[in-house]
Amino acid sequence: MSPRSCPAGLEAFVALRRDLHRHPELAFREHRTAGVVADTLRGLGYAVEEGIAGTGVVGTLARPGGSRSVALRADMDALPIAEESGVPHASGTPGLMHACGHDGHTAMLLAAAAVLAREGDFAGTLHLVFQPAEEVGEDSGAERMVREGLFDRFPADAVFAMHNHPGLPVGHFMCRPGAFMSASDKVRIKVQGRGGHAARPHLCVDASLAASAIVMSLQSVVSRNVDPAQTAVVSVGRLVAGDAYNVVPDTALLELSVRSFDASVRGLLRRRIEQTVQAQAQSYGATAEIDYVMGYPVLENDPAQTAFAADVAREVAGAGAVDDQATPIMGSEDFSYMLQARPGCLIRIGNGVQSPALHNPRYEFDDSNIAIGAAFWRRLVERFLSA
C-alpha cells in the first residue's frame, strides 16, 4: 500500500478531521468528538465501549486464529487558544482550537480503523483507544484510563501512539528507545507580603520584589545544581502581582514548568526549587506557599517495540525517512502512563518543516498525514498480529 494512498477513502477522513477541528473540545468535555469516534467505529464493525475516564472510547476488532493483542492510542482534546490559522475550517468556538493536532491523530487512527476492518490481514485482537484530556498536565486522560483498568478490560501485549511533529518533513518519522519525552511538573507559588501605598514602601513588604528575586534565583537551579551531562529545564511561565501603579502589592503569584529525564534529577529540582523559593521570600520579609504538582512521568519507549515500530516506519516511508535515534524532546506526554503499564512506543510523524509550532495559534495539521499515518498503523497491526 502506498503511504500516500488510503483505500478507505482519504477525502472522507480529511473531511472528518476538519469537522473535528471546527468543533474543538477541552479535556474531559470531548462529548461530541467521542460521539463521532464511537459512531464511526460502530459503522466499521468494531465493538465499542464509551465513557472510559469520562469521555474515552475503545473500539475492538477481534479475528480468529491469533492469541496476541495490540492497542493503538489517539488523543482527542483541544486547547484554550484563540485560532489564527485562517483556514476555512478554523475553530467555530471562540478561544478554543486544535493547536496540537489531536484532531489529526484521531482522524489518522479512524482512517486506519477503516482500512483494517475492510482489508486488514491479521489474526488476534486490535484495540483502538481514543483518550480524553492529554493536555491537562495532571490527572490526565491516560492516567485515569489506566487507573480505571484499561488494560484489564482490554488486554494488550503492547501499546503504540503517534504524535505529529512540526519541523520534521511530512512523510518522515522519528523515535528513540528509552527516555524520549521529559517528565513535566508544575509549581504554583503564592508570595505573601504586606501591601500599602507606593509612597511609603518602608511600611510594606513588597511581594513583587520578593517574587522578582525568586525568578532570578531560580535561574541558578539548573545551571548550578544539575550535572551538566543531564538535561533539565525550569521556566517561569506566569508572574502576576498588583493591580495599580501606586500600590505596593500584597501578594504575587508565580507558576513554573519543570522538566527532566531522570528521577534523581527530578527530585533534586523539587528540593532546590522549594528551598530557593522559601529562602528568597524570607530574605525580603515575605512568606511563600508552594503547590508542587508532580505531573507526567518520563515517556520511556520500550527498546524492542521501538525497534519494531521504526522498522514498520521504514517499510512504509523508506529508510531515509526514519530517525530511530532522535534527540530526546523536552515536551511531555501522558502516554507515558500507558507505557508504564505495557511495553510500547510513541513515534512522531512529520508535520512539515515550515509548520508553525505545536500550541501556536497559527498551527494546522497537515492532512496528507492521514494517509501516511493510516498506512503506518495498518502495517504495524498486520505485522504485530501476523497470522
Structural Rg of the chain based on CA atoms: 23
Active-site hit among 25, 30, 77, 334: 77
DSSP letter (8 states) at residue 87: -
Q: What is the H or E stretch that residue 373 is in?
A: helix 368-384
- HSE (CB half, 13 Å, CA atoms) of 102? 29
How far is residue 24's CA from residue 12's CA, in Å, rounded to a whole number? Answer: 19
Q: What are φ and ψ of residue 241, in 5° steps?
A: -155, 130
Q: Measure the CA–CA gap between 206 and 322, rounded to whole angstroms.
A: 54
Can you read off the three cell numbers belonging to residue 248?
505596593
Candidates 25, 75, 134, 185; catalytic one:
134
Closest CA to 130 of 22, 214, 55: 55
Residue 319 to residues 178, 179, 313, 322, 328, Cα–Cα distance (Å): 21, 23, 8, 6, 20
Distance from C-alpha of 135 to C-alpha of 27, rounded to nearest angstrom: 7
**Pairing state of beta strands 287-296 and 183-192?**
antiparallel
Residues 6 or more apart whose CB falls under 8 angstroms from that of 40 comprise: 16, 110, 113
Interatomic CA distance for residues 371 and 14, integer angstroms:
9
Largest CA distance in the chain: 82
Helix, coil or strand: residue 110 = helix
| Residue whose C-alpha cell is 482527542 | 76
Burial class (CB in 10 A: 0-12, 13-18, 19+), 347: buried
Check if 77 is active-site.
Answer: yes
The catalytic site residues sit at 77, 134
